[in-house]
Structure 1
Amino acid sequence: MTNTASPPAPRQATGKQGAVILLGGSLTIVGSVMIAPVLPKIGAEFGPTTAHADALVPLVAAGPALTIALFAPIAGWMADRFGRKAMLMLATLLYALLGAAPSQLNELSHILATRLLFGCAEAMVMTCCTTLIGDYWQGADRSRYVGRQVVTIAVIGSIFFVLGGAVGETSWRAPFLLYLLPLLLLPVMAATLWEPTRAERRNGPRTTLDRAAWGRVATAYTLIFLGMLASFIVPVQSPVVIAGLGVTSSTLIGLCAGLGLLATLAGAMAWPLVRRRIGTAFVNALLLGLLAVGLWLMARADSYNAVLVAVAIHGFGGGMLVPNALAPLLENLPESARARGVGGFTSCLYLGQFVSPIVIAIIAATTHSIPSAIAVFSVATLALAGTWLLVGARRARPAHGADPA
Structure 2
Amino acid sequence: MSTSRTRATLWVILASATLTVMAGAILGPIVPAIQSSLGVSESRAGLIITTHGALIVLVSPFAGALIDRVGPRRPFIAGLLLYAIGGGAGLGIDSFWPLLASRAVLGVGVAFVYTGITVLIYELYEGQRMDRALGLRSSANSVGAVIWPLVGGALGTLSWQAPFGVYLIALPLGLLAILTVPETGGRSDSDGGTTDSETGLAGVVGVFRRRPMLLGVYLLYFGANTLLYTIVVFYPQLLEGVGVTSSFSISLYLAANGLAGGVSAALYDRLIARTSRPVLVTVALVLWGIAFAGATLVDSPLSAVPPVVAFGLGLGLVFPSAFGWIEALAPVDRQGQFSSYLASAGYTGQFISPVVFGPLVPAFGVRGVFGAAALVSVGGLLVVGILGRSRAA
TM-score by length of 1: 0.88
Q: Is the 8 A contact 1:73 1:344 kept in 2?
A: yes
Pick aligned residue for 1:279 from 255, 276, 281? 276
Check if 1:351 corresponds to 2:348. Answer: yes
Check if 1:168 corresponds to 2:156. Answer: yes
- For structure 1, the residue ranges without an aligned partner over 5 or more in a row are 1-9, 398-405
The match for 1:7 is none
CA offset digits 1:196-238 (Å, max 9, x no partner):
1145897434334877862232221111011211122112111
Which amino acid in 2 is paired with 1:85?
A: R
Check if 1:119 corresponds to 2:115. Answer: no
Percent sequence identity over aligned pairs: 25
Check if 1:98 corresponds to 2:86. Answer: yes
Choose 1 or 2 for highest CA Rg: 1
Pick aligned residue for 1:363 from 360, 371, 392? 360
CA offset digits 1:306-346 (Å, max 9, x no partner):
21111111111111111111111112222310100111111
1:264, CA displacement in angstroms?
Answer: 1.1
Q: Is the 8 A contact 2:57 2:348 kept in 1?
A: yes
The match for 2:61 is 73
1:164, CA displacement in angstroms?
Answer: 1.9
- For structure 2, the residue ranges without an aligned partner over 5 or more in a row are 197-205
Check if 1:384 corresponds to 2:380. Answer: yes
Q: Distance in 2 between matches of 1:60 and 1:276?
A: 42
1:347, CA displacement in angstroms?
Answer: 0.7
Q: Distance in 2 between matches of 1:169 and 1:363?
A: 35
Q: Is the 8 A contact 1:28 1:126 kept in 2?
A: yes
The match for 2:177 is 189
The match for 1:24 is 16
Q: Is the 8 A contact 1:136 1:200 kept in 2?
A: no
Q: Is the 8 A contact 1:96 1:182 kept in 2?
A: yes
Pick aligned residue for 2:306 from 298, 306, 309? 309
What SS does the corresponding residue of 1:14 show, helix, strand or coil?
helix
1:117, CA displacement in angstroms?
Answer: 2.5
TM-score by length of 2: 0.90
Sort the Cα spacing of 1:199 and 1:246 in 2 relative to 1 into closer, same or farther, 3 A.
closer
The match for 1:375 is 371
What SS does the corresponding residue of 1:373 show, helix, strand or coil?
helix
Sort the Cα spacing of 1:39 and 1:390 in 2 relative to 1 into closer, same or farther, 3 A.
same
Q: Distance in 2 between matches of 1:245 and 1:378?
A: 20
Which deviates the most, 373-382 or 208-217?
Answer: 208-217
Pairing 1:126-141 to 2, within 5 Å after superposition: 126-141=114-129
The match for 2:199 is none
Pick aligned residue for 2:132 from 136, 141, 144? 144
Q: Distance in 1 between matches of 2:251 and 2:148?
A: 14
Q: Distance in 2 between matches of 1:270 and 1:21?
A: 18
Sort the Cα spacing of 1:368 and 1:242 in 2 relative to 1 into closer, same or farther, 3 A.
same
CA offset digits 1:87-124 (Å, max 9, x no partner):
11111111101101122122122212221231111011
Pick aligned residue for 1:262 from 253, 259, 265? 259
Q: Distance in 2 between matches of 1:65 and 1:111?
A: 15
CA RMSD of aligned residues (A): 2.3
Sort the Cα spacing of 1:276 and 1:390 in 2 relative to 1 into closer, same or farther, 3 A.
farther
The match for 2:37 is 45
Sort the Cα spacing of 1:26 and 1:255 in 2 relative to 1 into closer, same or farther, 3 A.
closer
Which amino acid in 2 is paired with 1:44?
A: S
CA offset digits 1:218-269 (Å, max 9, x no partner):
2211110112111221121110101122321233212211211221122213
Sort the Cα spacing of 1:348 and 1:301 in 2 relative to 1 into closer, same or farther, 3 A.
same
The match for 2:203 is none
1:395, CA displacement in angstroms?
Answer: 3.0
What SS does the corresponding residue of 2:212 show, helix, strand or coil?
helix
Q: Distance in 2 between matches of 1:78 and 1:262?
A: 34
The match for 2:235 is 238
Q: Distance in 2 between matches of 1:188 and 1:160?
A: 21
Q: Is the 8 A contact 1:202 1:335 kept in 2?
A: no
In the alignment of these two chains, the number of paired residues is 383
Q: Distance in 1 between matches of 2:278 and 2:333?
A: 26
What SS does the corresponding residue of 1:395 show, helix, strand or coil?
helix
Q: Is the 8 A contact 1:60 1:112 kept in 2?
A: yes
1:375, CA displacement in angstroms?
Answer: 0.7
Q: Is the 8 A contact 2:290 2:310 kept in 1?
A: yes
What SS does the corresponding residue of 2:192 show, helix, strand or coil?
coil
Which deviates the most, 338-347 or 187-196?
Answer: 187-196
Q: Distance in 2 between matches of 1:212 and 1:278?
A: 28
The match for 1:219 is 216
